[in-house]
Amino acid sequence: MDKFINCNILLLSDTMSFRIILLGPPGSGKGTQAEKLNDDLGLITLSTGDMLREAVRNGTELGKMAKSYMDKGGLVPDDVVIGLVKEKMATLKEGFVLDGFPRTVQQAEALGEFTEIHHVINLDVDDDELVSRLTKRRSCPDCKVVYHLLFKPPMKDGICDKCGAALYQRTDDTEETVRARLKVYRDNTFPLIEYYEKKGILVNIDGRGNINEIYEAIEASL
Ligand code: AMP
């Protein structure tokens, strides 16, 4: 934590010592906290969900293939997402936050082969709250900022505070798909908690409550 004292803007080279995974179920606040780590420390966010949604919007072959899994709340095949992250990571000179990757032990093992991770933050939130959060979530397609209709509403209805784009509801944020995603999380991603605990780099953080307090807990753990 000494690196933060009196200075929120770190030198690019210093940020390389922050290679962070945000772990946690869908809706646990990974995207929101990644945005704060970006604003505060200049860490680059790599969100596999955002990369895949962009491919879907652009109608690429990858997007068409990924959409069939995403619409059902399932996981896109490991080799596809591993390839995406590896390619993106090769271009980075800054520290980064991984949001939504890895999601399986196979992805975690592949990641360990091409980079070293320093911190894994596991955001803990119960299922009922996750369903409420996700069904009331609205997202910005351009700058990716995430809102909640009750707890973090945009200043102007349906408009992104940061960039002015029209907000949208993700097609996988309906209750049925959210329940499917939570099951997929429990079956495939939950084992990563133990995987990173054994490596001694996992910190559990209570993901309920005030966004800034959660961020302070994350910052204090780095
Ligand atoms: P997210 O925005 O992280 O909630 O991801 C949205 C959807 O994209 C997920 O429900 C999956 O279908 C797909 N996806 C994102 N990241 C991954 C990943 N690491 N592995 C497999 N599928 C993923």
Going by alpha carbons, the residue nearest to atom 15 of ligand 1 is 49
Using one digit for the tens of pLDDT, what is the confidence trace for 116-130?
A: 999 999 999 999 899
Going by alpha carbons, the residue nearest to atom 19 of ligand 1 is 101
Using one digit for the tens of pLDDT, what is the confidence trace for 137-187?
A: 999 999 989 998 988 899 999 999 999 999 999 988 988 999 999 999 999
If phi > 0 it is left, if psi is from -120 to 50 it is alpha, else beta; for residue 130 that is alpha
Under 8 Å between Cβ of 157 and 170 = no
Say whether pLDDT at 7 is over 90.
no
State the distance from the centre of ligand 1 to the C-alpha of 165, rounded, in angstroms: 23
Region 53-60: what's the mean pLDDT?
Answer: 94
State the distance from the centre of ligand 1 to the C-alpha of 33, rounded, in angstroms: 17
CB-based pocket (< 6 A), ligand 1: 26, 48-49, 52, 69-70, 73-76, 81, 100-101, 103, 107, 172, 181
Q: Which runs of consecutive H residues, i.e. helices, occur in 136-203?
A: 175-184, 191-198
Encoding tokens for residue 158?
A: 């349906």
- Concatenating the DSSP letter of every residue in 62-117 gives HHHHHHHHHTTT-PPPHHHHHHHHHHHHTT--S-EEEES---SHHHHHHHHHH---
CA separation (Å) from 13 to 18, 82, 85, 86? 10, 25, 21, 20
Task: Kindly list the catalytic residues.
Answer: 30, 103, 137, 170, 181
pTM of the predicted protein model: 0.87
Under 8 Å between Cβ of 12 and 93 = yes
User: Given pLDDT bands bounded at 50, 70 and 90, which one contains residue 38?
Assistant: very high
- Specify the DSSP element, H or E, that contains 61: helix 61-70
State the distance from the centre of ligand 1 to the C-alpha of 99, rounded, in angstroms: 9
User: Given pLDDT bands bounded at 50, 70 and 90, which one contains residue 215?
Assistant: very high
